[in-house]
Chain A
Amino acid sequence: MIVMKDKYILAIESSCDETSASIIKNGHEEIATVVLSQMDTHAAYGGVVPEIASRMHIENITMVLEETFRKSNMSMDDIDAIAVTYGPGLIGSLLIGVEAAKTLAYIYNKPLIPVHHIAGHIYANNLEKEMTFPLMALVISGGHTELIYMKENYNFKRIGGTLDDAVGEAYDKVARVLGLSYPGGPLVDKLAFEGEDTYDLPLPLDDASYNFSFSGIKSAVINLCHNEEQRGKKINLANLACSFQNRVVKILTKKTMRALSEYNVKNLIIAGGVAANKGIRNEFIKLCEESAINLTIPSINRCTDNAAMIGAAGYYAYELNHFGDLNLNAKATDELN
């Protein structure tokens, strides 16, 4: 009998405003994860300030790594490879993680695994339930809206994505117009459940493609608020939140369900920070039940940015020898393929 040796991946994620490190065993078992969020700092500015984010990443990176090893009771000797998010994301933020990972890979002579941030979000699911293929993944967050088809492990085909704002970005911008504090996306979701769909908003990019566009509906909300204000009318915030959320849910579900049917796929994964949105979650749960689709949504702490998901994806990249070298650069934009 061949006994497979356990593989431990040290993963680093710093693509936006979370400095995170994690140790993952065999691509699905979380040994230790540390996430240091900068959200409270950026909240004062109403959004992530890239230069402040980079400054905080370099201040925290070694402490996050040390805490991860302390929690795991492991040392670098136990690690088989080092995975890192190389992109997409904020370039100044990504660079800290990439340089740290390359330095450790060099010092300890370990393989370096560059991981695409979206691949990480998808593989967050693998930490809870082994992924079944083929599958469709809808990745929705403050920075991304992507529809990815996976025939098998670590095989990605992007079939669509946003042409402008990410869905979470649209939520946060609408929240700002409604006078909600940052990050307002979750507050819009909450408010939507207290209102009714009374405002006439357009259905965003309702076409035959699998692409999304959220800047139009965002502008429609801004214009509507402006016009009502001019007329001296008061906006019903809950009703507007509900009308906005309904359109977003409608287009996300419509295109995703069509993709599942067209690609004849029975497994759907929803990932990314906006997967925590109740309105979106509930509708997908209902539709997937009706169509006998096997739906997986990771728990909320795995939906937001973290290194555990990078370690999970990194394991499969490692198995396929997808290695990087000391020339690895961070990339602000990069398509998952």
Chain B
Amino acid sequence: MTCLFIDTSTKFVTLSIIKDNKQCYFFHEKVFEDLSVKILPLIADALKKCNLKACDINKIYAVTGPGSFTGIRIGLTIFKVMAWALNIDIIPISSLELMASTKTDKDYIIPCIDARRGNCYIAIYNENLDVIVSDRFTNFQSFINNIPVDKTFQIVTYDDINNENKIIPQIDVIKVINKHKNDLSINPHMINPNYLKKTEAEENFERNNN
């Protein structure tokens, strides 16, 4: 069983190839610009290094968001087309859950992606990656203020978020894959970005028409 894992939803791109539950390739770096130029050569290069061809892939784990709209679309277009063309399973993964795979000794792990103007994409997971509070787009401060006082928590984020209780994610792809290895595959036509947010045009339209 050969699996491909990709996340292009934040400035840290993750690409991993897992063969028989062993990670044979792992890339996790900041990609500053021209993601669309870099990402497919990166995938081609990674497969080559593992002596694999695209047709050797059995399953794809694709991060569908939330995060950068364009970033998500660049990665997900590649994986959606791959899953459709090769007729293989594709499993959607949350970018926040991937960040939550960071090891901590706290009750709650709170992955967070800055979405400007005090807003963020945020959720609460526990160390087994169970969802305590599902992924959402909301105001950062009010979300944090609502965490029960008897719980210890750790914020994991790549971004410059104004909170002392934060660390940079140390992601564990194998942990996330193991959590989802029995998930049902989605029809490639139906796998789409999970933006968690409508477009500004849609929001304005709804406001004006209500």
Binding site for B on A (CB under 8 A): 44-45, 49, 51-52, 54-55, 58-59, 61-63, 65-66, 76, 92, 95-96, 98-100, 102-104, 106-108, 326-330
Contacts and interface: CB of A to CB of B under 8 A. Distances in A.
A103 B189 contact: no
B133 to A, nearest CB: 26
B40 A99 contact: yes
A44 B205 CA distance: 9
B53 to A, nearest CB: 9
Contacts of A58: 73, 76-77, 80, 192-193
A49 B54 contact: no
Contact of B205 (A45, A61, A99): A45
A61 B82 CA distance: 12
Nearest to B190: A59
Interface in B178-207: 188-189, 192-193, 195, 199-202, 205
B147 interface: no
Which of A61, A102, A103, A328 lies at the interface centre, i.e. has the most chain B CB atoms within 10 A of its CB?
A103
A326 B201 contact: no
Contacts of A103: 40, 77-78, 81-82, 85
B105 interface: no
Nearest to A93: B73
B74 to A, nearest CB: 6
A54 B189 contact: no
Interface residues of B, number: 33
B145 to A, nearest CB: 31
Contacts of B54: 106-107
Nearest to A103: B81
A99 B40 CA distance: 8
A117 B201 CA distance: 27
Given A44-B205, A104-B81, A95 B69 contact: no
Given A52-B202, A103-B77, 13 more contacts: A44-B205, A45-B205, A51-B69, A58-B77, A58-B193, A65-B81, A65-B84, A95-B36, A95-B77, A99-B74, A100-B78, A104-B85, A327-B37
A63 B36 contact: no
B73 A63 contact: no
A66 B80 CA distance: 13
Interface in B23-39: 34, 36-38
29 contacts: A45-B201, A45-B205, A51-B201, A52-B201, A54-B69, A58-B80, A62-B80, A62-B188, A63-B189, A66-B84, A92-B69, A92-B73, A95-B77, A96-B73, A99-B36, A99-B40, A99-B74, A102-B78, A103-B78, A103-B82, A106-B40, A106-B44, A107-B86, A108-B85, A326-B40, A327-B38, A327-B41, A329-B36, A329-B37
